[in-house]
């Protein structure tokens, strides 16, 4: 596995990425948006560059789909994945989009009902797409819930959502910047409404515990991205992730909460 390095501001190092692409690369996999830093990666460019070498690309869109409209065909993504619970739907279910040519070329990864077309002891023929990959009785309730969540999102004006969330990001960054000893991790020029930070001398878990007591939901720790934390030489961050239902008053509450945490812990 070769890793695309991350620059100090949280953007991918596209010069190194260009150098990494060669005939030995089987697949490129990147986040559309970083859950830990909020960086919006230039996925269209990443896909285009990989395709120049005939390399397929998988985009993890778990953090992008709640924040923006995604057109997998316009992106020309070979695979695009996201989780149900990130688009306000059920847990334990998600979407794997793949181009037919790749899915047809891939063997089933699980055996069970519906994934076969004909079975005998001599020979088994697998069912066509998508059944080949849907062994066993599916999560029917989950699919109905996920469908409802996607329909709900499709009913929103995602351009307006993006603009509003961007204003929340600007406000949160400005207001948090007034706190002495704050260090932002992830300052890319293209960011989703995610603010990851550390307070000098305080562990993110302690800050998070106090914010939690104040009724402010942030996530603390390594955000399932330990190599990224190692890259920045930190144990983790405090991360506030804002969505279209959040308000400017809630950002004020976050800022006041962080100040209270500092008063109590220092």
Ligand X SMILES: Cc1ncc(COP(=O)(O)O)c(C=O)c1O
Per CB under 6 A, does 193 bind ligand X? no
Among 35, 39, 220, 237, binds ligand X (CB under 6 A): 35
Edge-first strand listing for the sheet containing 57-60: 28-31, 57-60, 79-83, 94-98
CB of 94 to ligand X, least distance (A): 5
If binding is defined by CB under 6 A, does position 94 make contact with ligand X? yes
Q: At its nearest, how many Å lie between ligand X and the CB of residue 35?
A: 3
Nearer CB in complex with ligand X: 83/237? 83
65 binds ligand X (CB under 6 A): no
Q: Is residue 31 near ligand X by the rule CB under 6 A?
A: yes
- Residues near 136 by beta carbon (within 8 Å), at least 6 away in sequence: 110, 112, 113, 114
Cβ proximity of 165 and 13 under 8 Å: no
224 part of the active site: yes
Closest to 241 in 3D by CA, of 257, 264, 223: 223
Q: Is 196 in the site for ligand X (CB under 6 A)?
A: no
For position 83 contacting ligand X by CB under 6 A, the verdict is: yes
Q: Which stretch binds ligand X (CB under 6 A): 22-30, 55-63, 68-76, 168-176?
A: 55-63
- Residue 228 makes contact with ligand X by CB under 6 A: no
In the complex, the smallest distance separating the C-beta of residue 64 from ligand X, rounded to whole angstroms, is 8
Among 26, 224, 245, 263, the one annotated catalytic = 224
Strand bridging mode 194-199 / 94-98: unpaired
Interatomic CA distance for residues 266 and 255, integer angstroms: 16
Q: What is the 3-state secondary structure (H, E, C) of 165-215?
A: HHHHHHHHHHHHHCCCCEEECCCCCCECCEEEEEECCCCHHHHHHHHHHCC
Using CB under 6 A as the binding rule, whether residue 70 contacts ligand X is answered as: no
């Amino acid at each position: 596995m070769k890793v695309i390095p991350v620059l100090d501001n949280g953007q991918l190092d596209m010069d190194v990425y260009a150098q990494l692409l060669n005939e030995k690369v089987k697949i490129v996999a990147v986040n559309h948006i970083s859950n830990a830093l909020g960086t919006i990666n230039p996925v269209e460019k990443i896909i285009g560059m990989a395709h120049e070498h005939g390399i397929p690309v998988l985009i993890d869109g778990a953090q992008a789909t709640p924040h923006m409209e995604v057109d997998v065909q316009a992106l020309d993504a070979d695979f695009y994945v996201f989780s149900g619970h990130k688009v306000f739907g059920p847990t334990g279910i998600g979407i794997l989009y793949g181009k037919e040519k790749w899915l047809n070329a891939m063997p089933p990864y699980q055996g069970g009902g519906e994934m076969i077309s004909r079975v005998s002891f001599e020979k088994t023929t697998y069912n066509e797409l998508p059944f080949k990959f849907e062994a066993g009785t599916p999560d029917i309730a989950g699919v109905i819930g996920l469908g409802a969540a996607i329909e709900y999102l499709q009913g929103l004006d995602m351009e307006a959502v993006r603009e509003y969330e961007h204003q929340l990001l600007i406000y949160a960054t400005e207001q948090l910047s007034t706190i002495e000893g704050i260090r932002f991790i992830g300052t890319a020029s293209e960011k989703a409404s995610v603010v990851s930070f550390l307070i000098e001398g305080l562990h993110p878990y302690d800050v998070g515990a106090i914010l939690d007591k104040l009724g402010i939901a942030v996530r603390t720790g390594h955000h399932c991205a330990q190599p990224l934390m190692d890259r920045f030489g930190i144990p983790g961050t405090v991360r506030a992730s804002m969505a279209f239902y959040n308000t400017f008053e809630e950002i004020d509450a976050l800022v006041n909460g962080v100040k209270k945490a500092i008063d109590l812990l220092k």
